[in-house]
Amino acid sequence: MNPKDIHLDIRGPVAVIRLARPAKRNALNDALILAVREIFEKLPETVRAAVLDGEGDHFCAGLDLSELKDRDAGAGMRHSRMWHAALEYVQSGPVPVVAALHGAVVGGGLELASACHIRVADESTFYALPEGSRGIFVGGGGSVRIPRLIGVARMTDMMLTGRVYNAQDGERAGFAQYLVPQGQALEKALELAHRVAENAPLTNYALMHALPRIAEQPADQGFFTEALMAAVAQSAPEAKDRVRAFLEGRADKVKKS
Ligand code: 1HE
């Protein structure tokens, strides 16, 4: 991989990871997806939250199609599993990840964004799954993660018809939790990541690792797992300190937005 194709910038408790291959619209070749994995795997322990963004006019144009042409079925399977492993480090790595989206968020770029925990999109953002029209299928975990954001019906429509969602419709459909004016996604993502970094680490751990599992469990098992996680979280000294601070008037109240 060209080391210039990805940047890591540690800003206090927040790591900013930037795809930096703008001439190819941040298309993800094997080297770059492996570099994404390595960066998340090796984040310093001082980091409490991360921001993922892309240099240039687009967040990410997806899989680097120039690497696709020579692969047979076995290599295709291994390639997809390699993406799964890499994006698992984004979703289940050390810290919550906020994606700062703009321009194209397409194909594998949308799969990468879907592995993040919060998505902030600016008004230039558009979402598509051109795999359908390229004669291929998603391979980076998209068929698992994307329906959890927007539903199976919308994803089916996108892949069958090539439908492109603009930023506004995309936010309504559930791709992004925040929509901001053009050029402001990184700023907003940094603000959110610094806020996330202030949480008790066990709370962030529960949200990353317990919540998605509980959401997939039958209700009875989910309630039980929730009770276990709640008991573990509230027994941590940091939780007790934070609750005491509120009761003694030293912590912020919840304010109407
Ligand atoms: C690429 C790629 C790419 C751009 N692989 N080289 N993804 C796609 O099918 C999306 C394909 N890309 C596009 O539709 C457009 O490039 C964009 C809408 C993202 C941006 O358009 P634009 O006009 O700004 O850029 P461009 O002129 O199309 O591209 C600039 C260069 O980037 C050009 O190379 P150049 O050498 O001629 O300058 C493009 O060839 C190159 N480029 N996108 C390779 N994707 C785990 S499985 C996931 C499966 C998928 O992701 S499939 C979907 C792939």
Q: Residue of the nearest CA to atom 5 in ligand 1?
A: 64
Q: Exposed, middle or buried, 24 (CB in 10 Å: 0-12/13-18/19+)?
A: middle
Residue 1 has pLDDT above 70, yes or no: no
pLDDT 10s digits, 66-90:
998 778 999 999 999 999 999 999 9
Mean predicted lDDT score pLDDT of the chain: 96
Does the beta carbon of 54 lie inside 6 Å of ligand 1? no
Does the beta carbon of 131 lie inside 6 Å of ligand 1? yes
Does the beta carbon of 47 lie inside 6 Å of ligand 1? no
In what helix (H) or strand (E) does residue 120 lie, and over which residues does it extend? strand 118-122
In this prediction the pTM is 0.97
Pocket test for ligand 1, best of 24, 25, 58, 84 (most atoms within 8 A of CB): 25
C-beta of residue 87 within 8 angstroms of C-beta of residue 141: yes
In what helix (H) or strand (E) does residue 19 lie, and over which residues does it extend? strand 14-19
If pLDDT is split at 50, 70 and 90, which confidence band does 2 have?
A: low
C-beta of residue 178 within 8 angstroms of C-beta of residue 184: no
Stronger pLDDT, 69 or 103, i.e. the higher one = 103
In what helix (H) or strand (E) does residue 17 lie, and over which residues does it extend? strand 14-19
Within 13 A of 52's CA, how many CA atoms are on the CB side?
28
Q: What is the model's pLDDT at position 162? A: 96
- Characterize the bridge pairing of strands 165-166 and 126-128: antiparallel
Using the atom order of ligand 1, give the atom closest to the CA of residue 33.
Answer: 46
Q: Count other Cβ atoms within 10 Å, centred on residue 209.
A: 13
| Active site members | 111, 131
Q: Residue of the nearest CA to atom 23 in ligand 1?
A: 25
Q: One-letter amino acid identity for 52?
A: L
Does the beta carbon of 79 lie inside 6 Å of ligand 1? no
pLDDT 10s digits, 233-243:
999 999 999 99
